[in-house]
Amino acid sequence: MTPLLGVEEIYSAYGLSRVLFGISLEVFAGECVCLLGRNGVGKTTTIRSVMGLLRPSSGRVVWKGTNITGWAPHRVARAGIGFVPEDRRVFAELSVLENLTVAAHAARRSGRWTTDAVFELFPKLHELRNRQSGFLSGGEQQMLTIARTLMGNPELLLLDEPSEGLAPLVVDSLLEQVGELKRQGLTILLAEQGVEFSLALADRVYVLERGAIRHTGPSAELRDDPALRDRLLAL
């Protein structure tokens, strides 16, 4: 079975500072895979390399059998990869509804995600739909960022540190919502520092350290073996 997304031995750098040293990973359809690791190990860089926001200096990114390395980000998005960035900034001047319609208009992909479907998943956004999105709270902005990406009807969702900087209560509801997306069959690649959050969602994990993969396996393994978890993720 060929993976939906295959990352093959990529090396990426920001100018002269090299960040990734031969990252390889696979994501199969319907899976939730998590990149786990501390700050600065290359999780975001890996995701940005997949999205085409950063061009790997070597290695390939393969999407459904097609080599998409070096594609412009808008082409990657239209091919079916949705990205929810870490900074989760919305288009502050537009209303909630406008943020969603712009995204739907941009991705040119039809599917099950419409404004109605998105509002069903995030009822709060329906309530706030005419509000200028710059005035939403952090948690609400995070919901909107995810909702906006869903409007493009992606087959794979790249979630970069979704729980970062959110209040514990908000994280819980976010966990529920992302879990719901997973149950509906959406493939997810998650980057996280929070062990609780990622182990609750992921089927498999890749543990990153200094730009390379240190460990890979089912998340149950890490969940059930505190010693292994401590060894890999000791802070």
Partner 1 sequence: MTTELRTGEAVAPAGGIVRSPAAAVPLRTPLVRRIPWTLLVFIVMATVPWLGSRYDTFLAAQIVIDALFAVSLNLLLGTTGLVSFGHVAYFGVGAYVCGILMKTYGVPFVIAFPAAGLGAALFALVSGYFCVRLIKLYFAMLTLAFSQIVWAICYKWNSVTGGDQGVPEIPYPHLHWMLSLPGCGDLSIGDRFYLLALVLVAVSLAVVHRIVRSPFGRVLTTVRDNPERAAFLGINVRAYQLASFVVAGGFAGLAGALYGIFSRGVFADYVFWSKSAEVIIMAILGGMEFFWGPPVGAAALVWLNQAITDYTQYWPFVLGTILLILLFVFPGGIVGGLVAGFRLIQRVGRRRLSPRHA
Residue 157 pairs in a beta bridge with 82, 188
CB 145 within 8 A of CB 84: yes
**Minimal distance, residue 23 CB to partner 1, in Å:** 19
Nearer to partner 1, 133 or 219 (CB): 133
The whole-angstrom separation of Cα 218 and Cα 220 is 5
**Minimal distance, residue 233 CB to partner 1, in Å:** 29
CB 153 within 8 A of CB 108: no
Q: How far is CA 15 from CA 10, 12, 54, 68, 105, in A?
A: 16, 9, 11, 21, 34
**Minimal distance, residue 203 CB to partner 1, in Å:** 25
Interacting residue ranges for partner 1, rule: CB under 8 A: 51-53, 72-74, 76-78, 83, 85, 89, 91-94, 98, 101-103, 105-109, 123, 126-128, 130-132, 135, 148-149, 152
Closest CA to 147 of 196, 98, 213: 98
**Minimal distance, residue 22 CB to partner 1, in Å:** 25
